Structure 1
Amino acid sequence: MSRRATLNEQFGAVADTIRIEGTRILATLIRTVGDVQLAEDAVQEAVLAALGAWPVTGVPPEPRAWLTVTARRKAIDIIRREGARADKERAGAELQDLTRHDLDALDPDGALDPDEVVQDDLLRLIFTCCHPSLSPPTRVALALRTLCGLSPAQIADVLLTTEVATTKRLVRARQKIAAARIPYRVPPETELPDRLPAVCAVIHSLYTAGHAPAEGEAAYDVDVCAEAIRLAELLHTLLPDQPTPTAVLALLLLTEARRPARIDDAGDVVTLDLQDRSRWDQSLITRGVTLLNESLERSDRQADAYQLQAAIAAEHARVPSYTATDWREIVRLYDLLVEVSPSPASELARVVAIAEAGQVNAALDLLDAIPTSSRSHAIRAELLARQHRYAEAIAALDQALDTAPSTHPERSHRERRRSHFQQLATPEHHPNPTT
């Protein structure tokens, strides 16, 4: 193997480790040092150290452990460089002691207090970020940024807001935490339920970010989705009698079950109506439906937003074909969802369901009342095309394409749809009516 190929392999190993394990490494270090900025700086320096060392020494057998130990050492160095105050000196001493043990054992997680209710570092820090003094959207944005490593653009896409607004929200959150001296520690067990809604929102948002990434060339991020499901499993295990975590896990599993059919062999997006349902994971569907029923029983059949979304996903999963879908039932469930938890995302999904139920005009009227976005323009284009209003459909898709990433599969899908509409708009083409 050439030296260039070897170097590329080493750099790739660093990139893969950071992409897959970076947030867990950061969460472990935040627990150890109790300071988010210090932990972020130390992890960044550890990555730079790996980029310098691994091409020479080779990738270590346990790259995550190597980075964790190195990050702890870097944290000690940062504390010393800053001329640390007495409390930070004590933290540095504790860090040194931890590092001595880790040098031999290379335990990537470190020792956790056995009396702690939450034993997973990342889940612990999500609970920590979801402090009640912060607004619910801010808690979600802060956790997605700090602990899940999402960019402001990705967070904005998940929360259906702008990147500028998200950045401002994150800056204000950090300032409030610093000014109010909000501690980065896991709350006692009695306080966990108060933070549960925000924690569930973070896990669900993390999965959404992986299921439909706003950036990159992939239609989904398998690692991000897997991490969200892992956290949902842990949360369900931690609070098995709480209906909401059970519903979140059910929703994620029912959605994940369809992932194998979402992309064709060429990497192109396959819409729900064209998916090969034989590729759907029936084991995940079965477990998801079971969890949904358990969740509904625990809430006396009074459904929350996650239970309703899971019920919609289960409704799609239970029928053998797209044409067999009970769209009236799905509209009913979306009506309840918009009532329980109104949001642009749920309202857009309801518009699609209403159109699929045969009420395209009503769907277009409802779309006028929803804030415009790349998604809403794309939905409008499809509805206009159903009425053979192809020039308007093309114009709507042009608006959707204006904000779509240049290399994203969703953009390619919209470009193909635009070309299709252009063909349908030609005088010699006489399309069959569609409903």
Structure 2
Amino acid sequence: MNQTGTTGKQAFRAGIIHLLDDPGHDIRPIPTTVDYFADGVLVVENGHVAAIGPADEMLANLPDDCELLEFPGQLIIPGMIDTHIHYPQTDMIAAYGEQLLQWLETYTFPTERQFSDPQHAREVTEFFLDELLRNGTTTACVFGTVHPESVEAFFAAAESRNLRMIAGKVMMDRNCPEYLRDTPESGYRESKALIEKWHGRGRLSYAVTPRFAPTSTPEQLAKAGQLLEEFPDVYLHTHVAENRAEVAWVHELFPDTRSYLDVYHQHGLLKPRSVLAHCIHLDEADRQCMAESGAAASFCPTSNLFIGSGLFDLMAMHGHGIRVGMGTDVGGGSSFSLLQTANEAYKVGQLRGDKLSPFQLLYLATLGGAKALYLDDKIGNFTPGKEADFVLLNPQATPLLERRSQHCQDIAELLFVLMMLGDDRVVSKVWIMGEAATS
């Protein structure tokens, strides 16, 4: 695949839906922030969105040299965006029986040990990226391991596929096995070298990645903050307030801080492009701090339910104006599919007394994720000029979906059904910068 997408102009005809902003709770009538064409055309030129509109208007104005691809009965959406996922945990997804801290000791750390081997890292990376694309995920914010080799392998594979990806080397200098431990200085030095090699190269971005507060000393967190000062446009990617036992442990390790989140705040790690996974056990002061800093939250419902961590309060986050995207959090999460993650997000909302609309769920998986990653000038919807990453969904992908979709009264119901019953089988095709992705 070339690095700029297709040359020339192509048009794609199908049902098309994307979001212009947060749609809120309304379903009927369709909110004005929802742009939907029952029969639409998306025009792509040189890897970017050129135009979008209803088919009857668009077809009359297509130039003679524009190739037209038609997909009757199917639905085009923007490429989905996973704001928190661990590629090295692919081989331990669906690990039985533990909550967070024991889960790390039992499953995660032994699995991540293997990524000092570049060949192993390359093999897992290729499978991981194939799996993302099969599920319609075109951008992700990704944890590597403590080994620089893990990030080298990931970025090389993502670059070869022309994917917009964010990743970083884990920094971890205590409370973990010796075989996964770096130091404040080596973590800084290795991260800096990776930033200088990969950040801003093609569609790639680097994330400074302390695993979470308990596995970094104050000295290492200060070094992470130093990297953010030296490279102000890189990301910060970590976890916060996922599990009650974890929160209590952080209080013991950092007794002079007000809260778990405050550990990061005191070390200069909260800023625009700081992506904090989970954010379950926060208080109002924490949320206000996130809002003022520009940090974003990654809502990971499949993981939070699977590991028994708690219920994310989306409405409280929105009330403070905090940017929120969705994350699968594989391998704590049990699916690569953001459709299935939306399914679980809806259920978390139900348990909290918050009814999330299908449009809100699509927003979280697309434009909301782009805003959380400060990439909404490039991806997330079909505004002309955006990069043309998009996905074709087939409402007839399974016998049950085919039958159920016949009874959908409108796009809101169809979207909801696709999220409740859909998975990777629904994703019939993916385009990256206007080129069909292969996996």
Mark yes or no: TM-score above 0.5.
no
- Which has the greater radius of gyration? 1
